[in-house]
Amino acid sequence: MEPVKWGWVGDAHIARAHVIPGMMKSDLCNVIALASRNPEKAKGTAEKFGVEKIYGAYEDLLADPEIEAVYVPLPNHLHVSMAAQAARAGKHVLCEKPLALTADEAKTLIAVRDETGKIIQEAFMVHSNPQWLRARELVQSGAIGEVKAFHWYFTYFNDDPENVRNMADIGGGALYDIGCYPVTTARFILGAEPKRVVSLMDRDPKFGTDRLESVMMDFGNGVQAGFITSTQLADHQRATILGTKGRIELTVACNSFVDRPNTILIDDGSELGNLSSKTETFPIFDQYTIEAEEFSKAVRGERQPVTSLEDSVANMAVLDAIFNSAQSEAWETV
């Protein structure tokens, strides 16, 4: 397959630390350009990755005819406008999560995709992560019986006022930043949509962002999923899938290691304290390399995008309902 020529807009931490290094490992990706509002600052990043072209305006990168696909790691409030602009400039778009701030906003990208014929995909790397794919396979095979409950803890501590996560007016807060993962993986694992949600949200008095939330999602038929997410608690990431005959746990549920093997734990519950658990170990992988490769294959028509825009809109609809429930202090229909 001819490698896809990539550019990215915004000298973002996630790009520098994870996504671009992941792309660089792949023969299917050729990263050739970076655009930044501050090209002087971005020079170091471009040099580090051996990227030839640096643009001082995002629009200039979009106008480069050599670039086929654009990766968008901008603050959340800019995702939809930049994705639309890039697609209209003739580029395929891999856009960071959350795709939008609301389901209605996300929906507008469906029209853009249909009008331009370009792929627009939310960068939910969990959807092609081997740990999550294996967990879903085990659930679908009945390995842990009937699955009735799903739960995540996903927390970290970041109270830096300069960080985009702590800026309410540009889409900061825990639900957008990390709550989107339990929502999407619950839907992915359970293969269903929540019917209603209830949430309790605590906001930071200075930032106005949601810094802690507890959420319950009712999938109907006695199936429940929940999560606790926070931007101001000690680092922790654990997802648990509970069935009638056992449970599956991902103890590093989002930031899979890239330099050592990842695992999942399967336990039939016959002994407490993990004494009856088995660990499955995966050969070393980089979930961002896989994400970029799957997207590149979609660009070449070798597969459908891993995450459809319709799926992203459905995910955003759950986030909308969670925000509504925090305000109404009642169950909200999705």
Ligand X SMILES: NC(=O)c1ccc[n+]([C@@H]2O[C@H](COP(=O)([O-])OP(=O)(O)OC[C@H]3O[C@@H](n4cnc5c(N)ncnc54)[C@H](OP(=O)(O)O)[C@@H]3O)[C@@H](O)[C@H]2O)c1
Give the footprint of ligand X on this chain (CB under 6 A): 10-14, 36-38, 42, 73-76, 78, 96-97, 123, 125, 164, 170, 177
The residue to which tokens 């697609």 are assigned: 87
Which residue's CB is nearer to ligand X, number 171 or number 243?
Answer: 171
Q: Which amino acid is at 303?
A: R
Half-sphere exposure of 43 (CA within 13 A, CB side): 3
Shortest Cβ 329–ligand X spacing (Å): 27
Shortest Cβ 93–ligand X spacing (Å): 13
Beta bridge partners of 202: 212
- Please count the other Cβ atoms lying within 10 Å of the Cβ belonging to residue 228: 19
What are 313's two structure tokens?
Answer: 């809109």
| Secondary structure letter of residue 24 according to DSSP | H
Residues 276, 16: Cα–Cα separation, whole Å? 40
Which residue's CB is nearer to ligand X, number 46 or number 216?
Answer: 46
Which residue's CB is nearer to ligand X, number 210 or number 267?
Answer: 210
Shortest Cβ 36–ligand X spacing (Å): 3
Which residue's CB is nearer to ligand X, number 73 or number 194?
Answer: 73
Which residue's CB is nearer to ligand X, number 11 or number 332?
Answer: 11
Question: If 0-12 CB within 10 Å is exposed, 13-18 middle and 19+ buried, where does residue 124 land?
Answer: buried
Which residue's CB is nearer to ligand X, number 13 or number 278?
Answer: 13
Half-sphere exposure of 31 (CA within 13 A, CB side): 26
Shortest Cβ 96–ligand X spacing (Å): 4
Cβ atoms of 30 and 6 within 8 Å: the answer is yes
Which residue's CB is nearer to ligand X, number 241 or number 253?
Answer: 253
Sign of the C-alpha dihedral, residues 87, 93, 99, 103? Answer: positive
Sign of the C-alpha dihedral, residues 201, 312, 182, 215? Answer: positive
Which residue's CB is nearer to ligand X, number 15 or number 198?
Answer: 15
| Secondary structure letter of residue 51 according to DSSP | -
User: Helix or strand or coil: residue 309?
Assistant: helix
Shortest Cβ 78–ligand X spacing (Å): 6
What are 110's two structure tokens?
Answer: 């469906």
Closest CA to 280 of 127, 135, 128, 144: 135
Cβ atoms of 153 and 237 within 8 Å: the answer is yes
What are 297's two structure tokens?
Answer: 């294959």
Which residue's CB is nearer to ligand X, number 112 or number 292?
Answer: 292
Cβ atoms of 240 and 249 within 8 Å: the answer is yes
